[in-house]
Amino acid sequence: MDKFVIYGGNYLEGELPVSGSKNTALPLMAASILADGTTVLENIPNLQDVTTFAHVLRILGASVQFDPKEHRMHIDASRVNFPEAPYELVKKMRASFYMLGALLGRAGSARVSLPGGCAWGPRPVNLHLEGMKALGAEIDLDQGYVVAKAPGGRLTGGTFALDPPSVGATINLLLAAVTARGSSRIENAAREPDVIVFGEMLQQMGAKIEGLGSTIIEIEGVDALKPITFKNTPDRIELGTFMIAAAMAGRPGDLIHISNAAPEHLGEAFVDAFARTGTKFSFGPGYVDVIPTDEIQPVSIETAVYPGFPTDLQAQWTVFMTQAKGNSRITDTIYTDRFAHIPELHRMNVNAIVVGNQVVVAGNRPIKGAYVMSTDLRGSVSLVLAGLVAEGETHVQRIYHLDRGYENLEGKLSAAGIAVQRVAYQEFPDPVNETA
């Protein structure tokens, strides 16, 4: 098992490069099985979730070659012949559930495990299932597996209104609808950049889609799609995380350059909140420059669907606000109990109180290094951010959570002046042998 050991007190400086988007890479990989032949994906991050998804594709019969140095992936779906996504993989990573739409779209049948539990919240898939039925699928449950069939081997198409505008359900319905016999309409669709970029790949494969980025998406089914070469977009959540890291741990007045970025994907709410902290920043083609201030203003936020404040940045914002000149309130309206990291932050002298789906954070408080435990992807990176400004050493344990969504984080932070090491450790040392 690995952990990060962070020696606090160094300023973050220089440059932080952003990797390809995790939450866009996964649906791009799913789309590849809609076309026989080899799809080439570029700017794919070297992450645990990408490795897991590649494994799902191999089980279906696809051949997947990934060059983590070049961030390029070749997926040949010509021999996909086993329409099943097993529990062992779906339970590890919910996005494997995209195989439901992809297999229905490719072969008119699918057997996909239900995702099961998650570190926070109920995360149901009722909208995915009801949506597939609206497109003409027959859906059954068998031993924890969703068994889906398109009568006559091909979906008819149909209309479905989402509530809430689920990212995952929008993506799954698009995967199924693009090769349906007729036309489909997704109402109250998700508008996240991940969905738009994924939809653009489908269009380049030959799909007929109108309305990406709006709440109404119209799809005209086509008989076949073709494999293409497609470049993934930079990770907007990693970008937001790095902007917060720079604002918290950079030397006031010194510029930090965040490269390979897509600032246009951040969404107004985050950009507005970041500006109100008093941190100076500017956007350019493919980059963001941040100039930290020593007077961080407290800014309360409320998460919402895009272009609202991303729930995937609320844990990071919570830690940012511990360095503000006053108190603030963070409200998560998407996942009402995504606060498993708060008790760990308490161990680092953070004063934050969870009340329902809100956390009230006290500012002006020094953070102290401690041994802390990762609980989930974004919760774990918030502990790393706290470690950047902590007095003394911070040991962030179980960083396999972090490896799911942040590529080579310790390498990027070290190159930017932070004293951080990845260290292997044993969680529960062997009990002393009684007889010794």
Would you name the residues annotated as active-site residues?
118
Residue 153 binds to ligand EPZ (criterion: CB under 6 A): no
Instruction: Answer yes or no: are the C-beta atoms of 281 and 291 closer than 8 Å.
Output: yes
Instruction: Please give the angle made by the CA atoms of 7, 352 and 250, to the nearest 5 degrees.
Output: 40
- The residue from 18, 95, 189, 370 that contacts ligand EPZ (CB under 6 A) is 95
Tokens encoding 105: 């779209």
Candidate segments 164-172, 173-181, 260-268, 354-362, binder of ligand EPZ by CB under 6 A: 164-172
The dihedrals phi and psi of 77, each to the nearest 5 degrees, come to -100, 10
19 versus 311: smaller Cβ distance to ligand EPZ: 311
Residue 330 binds to ligand EPZ (criterion: CB under 6 A): no
Candidate segments 124-132, 257-265, 350-358, 408-416, binder of ligand EPZ by CB under 6 A: 124-132
Mask of contacts with ligand EPZ, 190-219, x by CB under 6 A?
----x-------------------------
Q: If binding means CB under 6 A, how many residues of this protein chain bind ligand EPZ?
A: 23
Residue 166 binds to ligand EPZ (criterion: CB under 6 A): yes
Nearest to 362 by CA among 312, 298, 425: 298
How many angstroms separate the Cα of 325 from the Cα of each of 247, 322, 360?
14, 8, 14
182 versus 307: smaller Cβ distance to ligand EPZ: 307
Residue 405 binds to ligand EPZ (criterion: CB under 6 A): yes
Distance of CA 74 to the CA centre of its chain: 22
Q: How far apart are CA 73 and CA 206, in angstroms?
A: 20
Q: Which of residues 245-284 bind ligand EPZ (CB under 6 A)?
A: none
103 versus 173: smaller Cβ distance to ligand EPZ: 173
What's the min distance (Å) between Cβ of 141 and ligand EPZ?
Answer: 15
Instruction: Answer yes or no: are the C-beta atoms of 382 and 318 closer than 8 Å.
Output: yes
The set of residues, in sequence order, having a beta carbon less than 8 Å from that of 399 and lying 6+ positions away, is 2, 3, 4, 374, 380, 422
Residue 334 binds to ligand EPZ (criterion: CB under 6 A): yes
The closest residue (CB) to ligand EPZ is: 168
Q: How far apart are CA 386 and CA 381, in angstroms?
A: 9
Residue 112 binds to ligand EPZ (criterion: CB under 6 A): no
118 versus 224: smaller Cβ distance to ligand EPZ: 118
What's the min distance (Å) between Cβ of 26 and ligand EPZ?
Answer: 6
Hey, what amino acid is at 38? T
3-state helix, strand and coil shares in percent for the chain, rounded to the nearest 5: 35, 25, 40
How many angstroms separate the Cα of 250 from the Cα of each of 35, 342, 389?
46, 24, 9
Query: How many beta carbons lie within 10 A of that of residue 321, not counting itself?
Result: 29
Candidate segments 83-91, 160-168, 242-250, 419-427, binder of ligand EPZ by CB under 6 A: 160-168
Q: How far apart are CA 232 and CA 39, in angstroms?
A: 13
28 versus 420: smaller Cβ distance to ligand EPZ: 28
152 versus 164: smaller Cβ distance to ligand EPZ: 164
CA torsion, ordered 324, 272, 191, 70, to nearest 10 deg: -70
Candidate segments 38-46, 122-130, 279-287, 355-363, binder of ligand EPZ by CB under 6 A: 122-130
Residue 235 binds to ligand EPZ (criterion: CB under 6 A): no
Residue 179 binds to ligand EPZ (criterion: CB under 6 A): no
Cross-strand partners of 149: 109, 138
Residue 125 binds to ligand EPZ (criterion: CB under 6 A): yes
Residue 329 binds to ligand EPZ (criterion: CB under 6 A): no
Instruction: Answer yes or no: are the C-beta atoms of 46 and 52 closer than 8 Å.
Output: no
Residue 127 binds to ligand EPZ (criterion: CB under 6 A): yes
Residue 375 binds to ligand EPZ (criterion: CB under 6 A): no
Q: How far apart are CA 2 and CA 373, in angstroms?
A: 11
166 versus 374: smaller Cβ distance to ligand EPZ: 166
Instruction: Answer yes or no: are the C-beta atoms of 330 and 318 closer than 8 Å.
Output: yes
Residue 168 binds to ligand EPZ (criterion: CB under 6 A): yes
Cross-strand partners of 290: 256, 281
Residue 311 binds to ligand EPZ (criterion: CB under 6 A): yes
321 versus 334: smaller Cβ distance to ligand EPZ: 334
What's the min distance (Å) between Cβ of 122 and ligand EPZ?
Answer: 6
Residue 123 binds to ligand EPZ (criterion: CB under 6 A): yes
Nearest to 49 by CA among 96, 105, 106: 96
- The residue from 37, 124, 284, 366 that contacts ligand EPZ (CB under 6 A) is 124
How many residues are given for the chain? 436
Cross-strand partners of 185: 159, 218
Binding site for ligand EPZ (CB under 6 A): 23, 26, 94-95, 123-128, 164, 166-169, 194, 311-312, 334-335, 377-378, 405
